[in-house]
Amino acid sequence: MDKSKILFFMIPRQKVIHVFDDFTLEEALCVMKSTRFSAIPILSRDNKYIGTLSEGDILWFIKSIPGFSFENTETLKIMDIPRLRDNDPVNINCNIEILISRAINENYIPVLDDDNQFMGIITRKEIINYFFEHKFVVL
């Protein structure tokens, strides 16, 4: 499989559920509740991939605030939430081996272009389905 084939797996930016880095916790919780995703990309308004916001990060952040009240969610910013780890992005020109190695540990892999602009994501599910349907073996 040639490297340009990773585009085949990609969900384009316009279809990716995400939050912006200037969102409040309340806004992020609304997005995550409506989609039921446990982790989503954080993007800047100029389309840069910032990191990954996870339910676990939110939970531990809330737990760390004495006397936390959900009324506070409209003033707390998601960029104040410490993140355990971010999903490492790949360049659009990466090879399938790199993509698969990232998918082993992540549910999705952010894809960036040569200018580090966010292009979309590739999910582990899409990779597995593709190889299952085509009965490919990666050596």
Give me the pLDDT at residue 11, please: 94
* SS3 (DSSP) at 78: helix
What would the pLDDT profile of 85-122 be if each residue is shown by its tens digit? 999 999 999 988 888 899 998 999 999 999 999 999 99
Work out the pLDDT band at 3, boundaries 50, 70, 90: very low
Angle ∠(58,61,67) on CA atoms, nearest 5: 120
- Arch. (CATH architecture) of 3-134: Roll (3.10)
Residue that is written with structure tokens 């004495």 in the block: 66
Helix (H, G, I), strand (E, B) or coil at 38: coil
pLDDT at residue 81, as a whole number:
97
Six token digits for residue 81: 């939430």
Domain definitions of the chain by residue range: 3-134
Q: CB atoms < 10 A from the CB of 9, how many?
A: 21
DSSP H stretches of helix in the chain: 6-9, 25-35, 55-63, 96-103, 124-134
Closest among 72, 63, 65, 127 to 94, alpha carbons compared? 127
Q: Is the pTM of this model over 0.85?
A: yes
